[in-house]
Each structure stands twice: as structure tokens, then as C-alpha cells.
Amino acid sequence: MSMSEQRAGAGSRDIAIWLILVGGALAVLGSFLPWAKVVFGPNSQTAKGFDGWEGKVTAIAGASLIIRAIVIKQGKSRRLLPWIMVQGLVAAGVSLYDILTLKTQAITSGASDISKSTGVPVDQVKATLHLLLVSGTLKVSLEFGILIVLVGGILGILGGLALTLAKEPQVATPVGSTPRAPEGGFAESWVMTPASTPAPAPPPAPSGMSDPAPAPAPAPVPTEAQQPPPEPEPPASPEPSAPAGP
């Protein structure tokens, strides 16, 4: 990989991490801001996201996005990438669900509260609130907090996708050395066999020590000229002669 490609990969990776960080921060911030406003005549009431279960879920999802982005920024595990997109989907999905069902949830929640305080059946209160909503006497509107959460969730999803497609930066490895093992372990193609080097020469003898004594030479074998003269044999005794006959 060339230097320009490495710089481009590192730059896209940093942008993706910043998208995740910003998306998580927006999701957390928007969870504590107003999500809806109900106006009935001169009276009005604002509901924050953290007042219901939806805001608590989106706040947790946003905080998880921030933590996972910091961990990946430090060069830790890339196995967190699928979870980043999941958390972004949670934040965006919950906020989008509330946007689409805002009026229905407002009528259901208001009817339940009115029924508990007045004793009127819930269905009858729902029908009345629906008529008031259609006539314009009762107004339900979105607030900016839920939109901020939606944007944060979308940024988290985009950041996770961009980080998945970004190339991991590679560190140059000196010649003859073994590269660092990836987190999943060495693949067979990663293993480098070090170049063979000649065996080191034996160390010289320490100074101050005399050379070992040479082995004794074998005794010389005497040659024929050096053989001692043979001893003379004793003379043979004369045999006795036979006596003469008569």
C-alpha cells in the first residue's frame, strides 16, 4: 500500500470515528430535551424524552456509541463495529417510531390520565380527545429534542458503515522481522521466515592462558641398521667314531 493510500485510509477512519462520536453526543443530548408539546386552549404541556422509556433507551444508545468510538479510536478491537450500527439503529428507530405515532401516543396517555382522575371510561375520553384534535382545539406538535436524537442515530449508522469500509492503517515492518500479529491471530500468509544467517565464529581464547601442551609423539620404530648383531651359535660337538673290528 502506498503512502497516499495509507493517508486516505487513516483520514476516512478518523472521519468515521468523529461521526460516531457526534452522533452519540446528539442522541444523549436530545434524550433530555423536549420531544412533544400538547396545547389545549390556553394551557400547554411539554414532554421530554427522558420522561418516558423511549428517552432512556436512546440515551443509553447514545452513550454506548460514544464509548465504543473512543475504544476504537485507541486502536482496540474492531469487533465493536456491528454494535455501533446496532446502537445507531436503536436511537434512530425509537425516535422515528415516536415521530410517526406522536398523536396516537398523546391521546392514549392523556386519556389514561384523565380517566384515572375523573373516573370516565378510557374509550370515551379517547373519542373526545380525538374530536378535539380534529377540530384544532387540541394540538400536538413535535419538539426539537426528538429530531436531534434522530439525526444522532443516523450519524451513528453512517459512521459505523464508513468505519467498516475504511482500510486499517498498516505499519511498516523492518526487513527480516516478523510483523505484529493481528487481533484474530496469525494467518498462514502472515508468517515470515527469517533469512538464514551464517553461524557465529567461536569466541577467541581468553588472554593470559597458555596454549594446551601438544600430544606426545609416538616412539620411533628401530630400523634394520639399528638392530643389535645376533649372538654367535655354539660349535657343534664331534660325533664319536665307531671302534675298529678284530
Provide CB contacts within 8 A for 194, sequence distance 6+: 176, 177, 178
- Specify the pTM: 0.63
Q: Decide the pairing of beta strands 34-40 and 138-142.
A: antiparallel
pLDDT (tens place) for every residue of the chain, 246 residues total:
455 555 555 678 889 999 999 999 999 999 999 999 989 888 888 989 998 899 999 999 999 999 999 988 887 666 777 888 999 999 999 999 999 999 888 888 888 888 888 888 989 988 998 899 888 888 999 999 999 999 999 999 999 998 888 755 554 455 555 555 555 554 444 445 455 555 666 666 555 555 555 566 666 655 555 555 666 666 555 555 545 444
Provide CB contacts within 8 A for 47, sequence distance 6+: 34, 35, 36, 37, 38
Q: Using an 8 Å Cβ cutoff, are 122 and 112 in contact?
A: yes
- The whole-number pLDDT of residue 60 equals 96
- The whole-number pLDDT of residue 65 equals 94
Domains plus CATH for the chain? 3-171 (1.20.140)
Would you give the distance in Å from CA 190 to the centre of its chain? 18
- For 168, the enclosing helix (H) or strand (E) is none
